[in-house]
Amino acid sequence: MYHHHHPFCAAEGQTGLQRGDVVLFRFPLSEEDEEPGAPKRRPCLVLDTLTKGNERFVEIAYGTSAETRANRGYEVIVKQSTGRLTAGLSKPTRFVCARRIIVHVSHSGFHGRTKGPHILGRLDAPLLERMNAVRARIQAEADIAAYYREERRQEEQAREDRGFQ
């Protein structure tokens, strides 16, 4: 899970990338892969568009054709040929929403032959519904974790106020 130290606002009325778009991005496989050009560009799913001031960001999920059991329940699987065609995918792809990052829309990881994001396609209606269910689950779990963190913080504060360490 993640916690934003600086709040973002949902981007409204923006053109370009939208929730449900499938884009090519050099998704880092680990913290060491942060240098541009290290990982290959792969399909990623735009989970959300965000703004902070005049800056625009997207939250994207990792896409893979590998069938593993990791992160079950946090995935959007594009298997059917019609769904793949709409999404611009040549083979079945699993978007692992537990593996997601937030990047600026001009991040160099989007760059290929041209600068900027290349939109392959878009999820169809049933897959958009699945994506929204996964997003809701992730948000609910983040809210629950935040609630428990705040509860622990209040308990610790109460102990300190009573003179206990």
Tell me the DSSP string of 10-67. Answer: E--S--S--TTEEEEE---SSGGGGSTTSSPPEEEEEEEEEEETTEEEEEEEEEES--
pTM of this prediction exceeds 0.85: no
Q: Say what the pLDDT of residue 94 is.
A: 94
**CB proximity list for 132: less than 8 A, separation 6 or greater:** none
DSSP element (H, E) containing 119: strand 119-122
What is the Cα gyration radius of the chain? 18
pLDDT tens-digit map of 59-72: 999 999 887 776 67
| Fold type of domain 9-161 | SH3 type barrels. (2.30.30)
**What would the DSSP string read from start to end of 95-109?**
EEEEEEEEEETT-GG
How high is the pLDDT of residue 19?
Answer: 94
- Please give the Cα distance from 67 to 58 (Å, whole number): 26
Distance CA 62, CA 76 (A): 10
Residue ranges for the chain with pLDDT beneath 70: 1-15, 30-38, 70-71, 164-165
| Predicted pLDDT of residue 72 | 74
